[in-house]
A and B are shown apart, each in its own frame.
Chain A
Amino acid sequence: MKIALLAIVLLLSSAVPALAQKPRERAEAQVKFGINVAQYNLWREAIARFERAADIDPTYAAAYNNLAIAYEQQGELGKARDAYEKSLKLDPDNQYIKQNYELFREINDRANRQNRR
């Protein structure tokens, strides 16, 4: 019985720091992991991480920016556009997001022109 109680106490004590973290910190941890895996070309895992980050902290512009890039890499241009737009709405003056979005739009416009012809 004592051992069981001790195990529960230990389990709770290990979970408390994670629960105590603020949403932004938890989201940042997901983004950091996502960036790492993206650098190894593991884009599906990166998408899962960036999505998780955006769920945890829906005001985190970087998460949406990264998600947009990952969608772009996967050829999901509609989802990429939505994510870029959310990202820019949250951080409209960010030069990196603006540049990413401009480059994305060139490709997106080209794909749309191609489909219209």
Chain B
Amino acid sequence: MTARTGRTVVSVLAVAVTAACAHYYEIPIETPIKPKLDVSAFQRVLVAGFITGGTDDVDGNVETTRLLRSQLRSKSDLRVIDADTLPLMEVVSSDRAKANTGAGAAPAPLPPIKEEKDLEPYEPLFANVAYWKQIGEEYQQPLIVTGTVMFTSQERSTSQLRAQETRDQFGRRQTETTRVYVERKAFILRPKWIFIDGRDGTVIHSETFREEVSYGANQQTPALSSYFELMDRLIPTFLSTLSSQKVKGTRFLLQ
């Protein structure tokens, strides 16, 4: 037996012995995480529309409705109802007008929604059980998704520490840290998802989020791109409210 053959035999034996002595087995697993809401009573979901404010560059109502519907269609078991987006802001205005009919004077028009506090006059709409019950009856009592979406932009001046290389009088290199001010543009998305039971019009769950992204002032990022970037971060959490998710991973089974 040559030395080469001997080495081969030894390495084959080593592999065989290692395999025989393996005390662990790496195994892929998928851990299901239960949804936050029990929506087993519903077969259908209506993403009704949103009260939106902030920048005029993005139609938050239309874009949010479209995005959530498409995500629910592909990633949940609920059947998504295709319907026109509800003009919720108009509904609130008309409700205010009706409420003031007896008072004689027409109600003051609501200011455009630019800040969070501007949303307050619209909040009672979500507690209007009769309105949502009527919408529920119209669409065969689905789960209704609605809420508010604030999408704003901000110009910011932030300070940053920057290292600069200089040379002293003897030509030696030195590093100096200086504070510089840079202009940045930030986009902030603050949605509030409200889930309403289409059978009786009551709110069953609501949750509020905040995400932001900022860019250098010289970056010309369109508002719509930022909106989608921020929504991308929020979509998994939104979906986890309604449908179970599976987290893939590996574990070691031991013997």
Contact = CB atoms under 8 A, between A and B. Distances in A.
B255 A62 contact: yes
Q: Which of B30, B252, B253 has the most CB of A within 10 A?
A: B253
A114 B33 contact: yes
Interface string A85-117: 000000000101101100110010011001101
B251 A117 contact: no
A57 interface: no
Contacts of B34: 75, 111
A114 B255 contact: no
B33 A111 contact: yes
A103 B254 CA distance: 16
Interface in A49-81: 61-62, 65-66, 69, 72-75, 77
A103 B30 CA distance: 12
Given A96-B254, A103-B251, A107-B247, A73 B36 contact: no
Nearest to B23: A62
B30 A73 contact: yes
B154 interface: no
Contacts of B207: 117
B233 to A, nearest CB: 15
Q: Which of B31, B34, B237, B247 has the most CB of A within 10 A?
A: B31
Interface residues of B, number: 21
Interface in A19-53: 28, 31-32, 35, 38-39
B33 A31 contact: no
Interface string B7-37: 0000000000000000011010111111010
Contact of A114 (B31, B32, B237, B251): B237
A107 B31 contact: yes
B222 interface: no
Contacts of A111: 33-34
B29 A69 contact: yes
B30 A96 contact: no
Nearest to B30: A73
Contacts of B255: 28, 31-32, 35, 62
A38 B253 contact: yes
Contact of B24 (A73, A74, A96, A115): A96
A116 to B, nearest CB: 10
Contacts of A31: 254-255
14 contacts: A31-B254, A35-B253, A65-B253, A66-B253, A72-B31, A72-B251, A75-B33, A75-B34, A96-B254, A97-B254, A99-B252, A100-B251, A100-B252, A117-B237
Closest 7 CB pairs of A and B: A62-B254, A75-B32, A96-B252, A69-B251, A73-B29, A100-B251, A111-B33
